[in-house]
Amino acid sequence: MATLYPWLTPTYQQITQSFSQGRGHHALLFKAEMGVGVEQLIDAVAKFLICTESEKPCGHCHACQLSQAGNHPDVHLLAPIDNKDIGVDQVREINEIVNQYAQQGGNKIVWVQGAERLTEAAANAILKTLEEPRPNSYFLLQADLASPLMATIYSRCQMWLVNVPETALAEQWLQTQSNEKTEEISTALRISYQRPLSALTFLQQGLMEKRREFLRQFWVFYVRRSPLELLPLFEKELIFHQIDWLLAFLTDALKDKLGVQENWICQDLARGVQQFNQKQTMLGLLQANQIVQNMRLDLIQINAVNQEIILLDGLTKLITEVFEQ
């Protein structure tokens, strides 16, 4: 078995031990944030369950070889197609498969990616299967930590929360994956809200300097009161990162105004935060945070064609409703 991320190993050991002791559940629900590698954990559990040997996963039996090649006929994926919600027809197709005998004579695995994307009809259809589990059939449901699911699905599953790792463990792992300085690694981890895989991507894509340049330009935008100082810096592929960088800066400014010096995201830019904060009011910072949060929400919900209009509107509101008050 491939080496698991170190923060996932304890959970994997708990799950596999329960199966080895005959206490395994037929439906496991994994709730986690993006960027912690829960997919690797689910894949490892699936490989454990599909192995036909007593020492699992052996990596050598026919079932393991098929699984490693990604074409085991008894391992099935249920996921959104073309970013659309999981429909009832998809679930019915899976239910039919589960009701049949395993082609390899062992266990059957259904990995449900994005369980929060099940439509109501699809959720009800899968619920019936979870209520009356077939022998040797296992459902591994993956859902976003913050997304709601039907209470009835919760009640039919054994839930595993996969939290972000302790800072020391995450930093130690990142140091084995990156040649960046310790300070840069710590900053990347804070910016990524302790999600190590997101932090690694941040470092590998060279986003540290892009972030600093973006926030330097935010200062120019603030001083000159001109949206055109910042608007051209927004990039389609990075737009949500850039909004989050801005939110982190404004949130730290609010913390500074409240006298809170702990858990700043922008510790590396503390001087800039404090300098910006000198002429801000508590009410103004609260308003600024709300404006940027609304920008983010609008960008998610409204057609991408209107991105520039949304950004221009939000930046203009920062000037007229906050900076010029």
pTM for the model: 0.88
Triad 275, 229, 253: Cα angle to 5°: 25
Q: What integer pLDDT is reported at residue 83 of this predicted model?
A: 86
137 and 241 part of one domain: no
Of 153, 184, 202, which residue sits at a domain end?
202
Determine, yes or no, domain membership for 4: no
CB crowding 288-303: b at 16 or more within 10 Å, else e: bbebbeebbebbeeee
Nearest-angstrom CA–CA distance, 2 and 93: 31
248 and 142 part of one domain: no
Q: How many domains does the chain have?
A: 3
Residue 101, sorted as left (phi over 0), alpha (psi -120 to 50) or beta, turns out to be: beta
Residues of the domain holding 100? 9-162
Neighbours of 250 (CB within 10 A): 27
> DSSP label at 74?
T
Q: What integer pLDDT is reported at residue 111 of this predicted model?
A: 97
Give the chain's residues under pLDDT 70.
1-2, 303-305
Q: What integer pLDDT is reported at residue 1 of this predicted model?
A: 55
Q: What integer pLDDT is reported at residue 168 of this predicted model?
A: 97
178 and 227 part of one domain: no
118 and 39 part of one domain: yes
Nearest-angstrom CA–CA distance, 116 and 141: 9
Q: What integer pLDDT is reported at residue 25 of this predicted model?
A: 96
Q: What integer pLDDT is reported at residue 54 of this predicted model?
A: 81
DSSP, collapsed to helix, strand or coil, labels residue 172 as helix
DSSP, collapsed to helix, strand or coil, labels residue 16 as helix
180 and 261 part of one domain: no
Determine, yes or no, domain membership for 2: no
105 and 218 part of one domain: no
Residue 48's domain is classified under what CATH number? Answer: 3.40.50.300
Q: What integer pLDDT is reported at residue 2 of this predicted model?
A: 63
Q: What integer pLDDT is reported at residue 102 of this predicted model?
A: 81
Q: What integer pLDDT is reported at residue 181 of this predicted model?
A: 94
Nearest-angstrom CA–CA distance, 247 and 131: 43
